[in-house]
Amino acid sequence: MELKIFIVLFCTLFTGGHSLKCYECSGIMGSCERVKETTCMGTARCASTTSVVFTGGPGVKKQYKGCEVKASCINASVNNGIVRTVTSSQCCNTDLCNNKDAPDSSSNSPNGKQCYYCDGQSCFNKINCLGTEDSCYKATETVGSPTFKGCMSKSVCDASQLTEDYTSFSCCQGNLCNGAKSVTQNLLFLFWPLFFFILIH
C-alpha cells in the first residue's frame, strides 16, 4: 500500500504536477527589457510574441514573453482600415524555452480579398486585406453600441476570448461578406486593433 502511494506521489511530482518555468518580459521597439523568470499555472506554456501596430506609417513593434494558454499561441492580423495589428507567437513546453524573440511576420502585400470597414462616418468603405487576413469581421461590443468591421485572420475569429467579450461578433470568408450598413463609430472602435494584443492574452 505504501509503495502505491509513493508511486502516485512520484508521478504527480514529475509529470502533471511539474510547473513550467518561462522567461517573462515586455518591451517596445526591440527585444524585451527587464527579463525575469516566472512559473506558469495549470497547462500554460512558454510563449514569445512579437506584435506590430501600423497606423499609416512604419509599424511600432512590441515584444512579449511569458506564460500563455494554447489558444493564445497564434499568428494573426487584425485590420480595420485605420489601425492594423499583426501578432506572431511561438509557444513551447520546456523550462525557459522562450528565450528567443518571435519573428516579425507582418506583410503589407494585398492577398486579393476585400472587406468593408468603417471610417467614423460610413461603413460603405472597402479595404484590401493584407498578409494572412483571410476573413472579414463585424463586431458590436454592447447592445446599441457602434459596429466595427474590417479584415482579420481566421485564427483570431476562432479565438473564444473574442466572442465572449462582444454581444455580436462574426467572421465570414467571402469578399465583402461583412455587410455595408452605414454606422457611426467613436474613437475607441476606430482604434480597436490597438487593443487586439491585450484581448488575446
Structure confidence by residue, pLDDT tens digits, 75-111: 899 999 999 999 999 999 999 999 999 988 888 899 9
Alpha-carbon distances of 181 from 116, 148, 167, 171, 184, rounded to whole Å: 9, 10, 18, 16, 10
C-alpha radius of gyration, the chain, whole number: 20
CATH architecture of residue range(s) 110-191 = Ribbon (2.10)
Looking at residue 16, its pLDDT comes to 45
Q: Label residue 160 by pLDDT band (50, 70, 90).
A: low
Residue 37's closest CA among 88, 102, 95, 93? 95
Looking at residue 44, its pLDDT comes to 92
Q: Label residue 186 by pLDDT band (50, 70, 90).
A: very low
Residue with grid cell 479565438, as numbered in its chain: 159
Q: Which among 13-22, 28-37, 43-52, 151-160 has the top mean pLDDT?
A: 43-52
- Tell me if 183 sits within 8 A of 118, measured CB to CB: yes
Q: How far apart are CA 120 and CA 182, in angstroms?
A: 10
Domain ranges of the chain: 110-191
pLDDT exceeds cutoff 90 at 19: no
Residue 189's closest CA among 153, 152, 155, 138? 138
Q: What is the mean pLDDT of residues 47-57?
A: 91
